[in-house]
Structure 1
Amino acid sequence: MGRCDSLRRTVPAALVATPFGDSVVLRVASELVRHAVGLVYPNSCIVCDTEEPPAEPLRHGLCSGCLRSVTTDPFPACPRCGQTVGPHVDTSQGCGECRGAAFAFDSVVRLGPYAGKLRDAVLRMKLLSGEGLADRLGRVLVEERGTAQAFAEIDTVVPVPLHWWRKWTRGYNQSEALAREIARLMGRSYDPHILRRARFTTQHAQPTRSARLANMRDAFRVRTGARITGKAVLLVDDVMTTGSTASVAAKALRDAGARRVAIAVLARR
C-alpha cells in the first residue's frame, strides 16, 4: 500500500460515513488528504507514490518512470479507431477491426494502450482524489499527441458525460477534468453541458460491439439551444473499448449539427 493510500485510511469515519455515500463530503475529505500528502511528500509521484530526489522535480506530478511509461506508446495505432495495429498495416482506410464499421466520429487519438502505468493512472484517476491527476494527464495528452489529426481545426471540446447518479457517487467526472485542461491548453472553448446522459447504462457488460451499441442506443442527448452547428468537436473520454460509447455520443453531436467529431482518449483497450 502506498503512502497516499495509507494517509487516506486516516480520514475520520465521520467524514465519509454519510447517507448515500455523500460525494460532496467524500470529495472534500479526499482533497484535504491529497493536499496533506503533498505537504508531507512534496516530491512523490501521484501515480505510484515513489519519491524522487529533490534535485529531480516531478513533471506533471509523475516520477520519471511513470512519465516515461504513460507517454511511450509501444505500438502503432489506427488513426480511425485508435486500436493497436501491426507495424506494417495500411490504416489509410482504417484497420482490420474498424474497416467497414460505421462510426459517427472521424478519428481517434490515444496516449497509449490500456496497460501498465497508464492503466494504473486511469484507475487512480477515477478515485475521488483523482481530479488533479486527470488535469495533469490532460496536459500530457496535449503535449505528447497535440499534432495528431484528431486535434486539428477543433472549435470546441466536450467531455463524454456520466449519468448524474454515477457522477454523484463518484464525486466528479474524470472526462470533464481531462477535457477542461485540453481545451485550456489548446485555447478552445469548453462546454461540459452540451451533452447529457439521457438514461443510465450498464458498464462493460456486453461482450461484442453490436451488443454495446444496442446498450448505448439513445443514451445521449444534446442540450436544447447548444450552438454546435458547423463546428468541429473534440469529444474526450478516459478509455475507449469498442468505440460504441464514443460513436453514439458523436452521433448525437452530428445530429445536432456538428460538422466533424474527433475523439481523444487516454487509453485504448
Structure 2
Amino acid sequence: MDKGRAFRELHEASGTFLMPNPWDPGTTMFLASLGFKALATSSAGFAFSRGLPDGAVPFDMMINHCKDLVSATGLPVNADLEKGKGDSPDSAGETIFAAEAAGLAGCSIEDYSGDDRNPIYDFSLAVERVAAASEAAKALKGDFVFTARAENFLHGRPDLEDTIRRLQAFEAAGANVLYAPGIGDINHIRQICSSVSKPVNVMALPAFTVAQLAEAGVKRVSIGPRLTTIAFAAVRDAAHEMLDKGTFAFGDRAMPFGELQQLFSQGANKDI
C-alpha cells in the first residue's frame, strides 16, 4: 500500500472519517484490527505512557515512537509532532523530512511555542513555519498530508476570530489539512469549516457525535489522548477497588485474554 496516497484519498473521498490515537504498538495493532482506515499518534498519550508530562518528549524520541507505530500496522499513520524540531521556519521544514523518513503518511505542526509565558507564535512566524513545512512536503517524492494546527483554544486564548484568521493563512501557505483543537462549540466548528476550503480535523469531545461533526463540515475526527486517559482511568478504578474494597470485580470487565493473545500472535505475519 502507498500509505501517503491512501491517506490523501481518505481526505478526498466523500464523508467524514475517524482517526483514533493509539499510544504504543499494541494499541496500534488492536485499533487497526477493528476496521479504522487511518491512525494518529498522540503526543500526550505517548508522554504519559513514558511517565512524562505532555510536551516533555524530545523530538528524536517522538520520531522513534512514530517508527514503532508505523511498523505495527499497514494503515496510514499521522503524527502529532507538536511544534516540530524547533522554532524557526527551517526547523518546520526539517520536521517534515524527518516525518517522511519515519514512514508517516502525514503529520501536524502547531503554532504553540512551548513557552507558557508566550504560548502562541506571532502570526507572521506561525505562517512562515507553515509555508516552510508545506514546501518541504511538496518536495517529497511520495504523497504526504501536512496538517497545520492553531492552538489558541488549548492555551487560554479562546479567540475564534484569530483562530480562523490563522487557519485561513495556513491554508494560503499550503497546508493540506487545518486543525484547531480544543473547541467545544459545534457552531464554532461550523464557522471554521465554512471559512476555509481545505479539509478540517476536529478533536472529538463527549458532547459531539460523528453525525453532528459531519453536518458541520468536518472531514477528519481524532480523539487526542482520550484513549490513553480512559485506560489510565480503568487502572485507577481497578486499583481503588482492590485497595478500598478488597475485591476484584473489575476483572469481569476485562477483555478476554485469548482475544488479545490471538491478535498479537499474528505479530510476525500481520498485515492489518
Normalising by structure 2, report the TM-score. 0.32
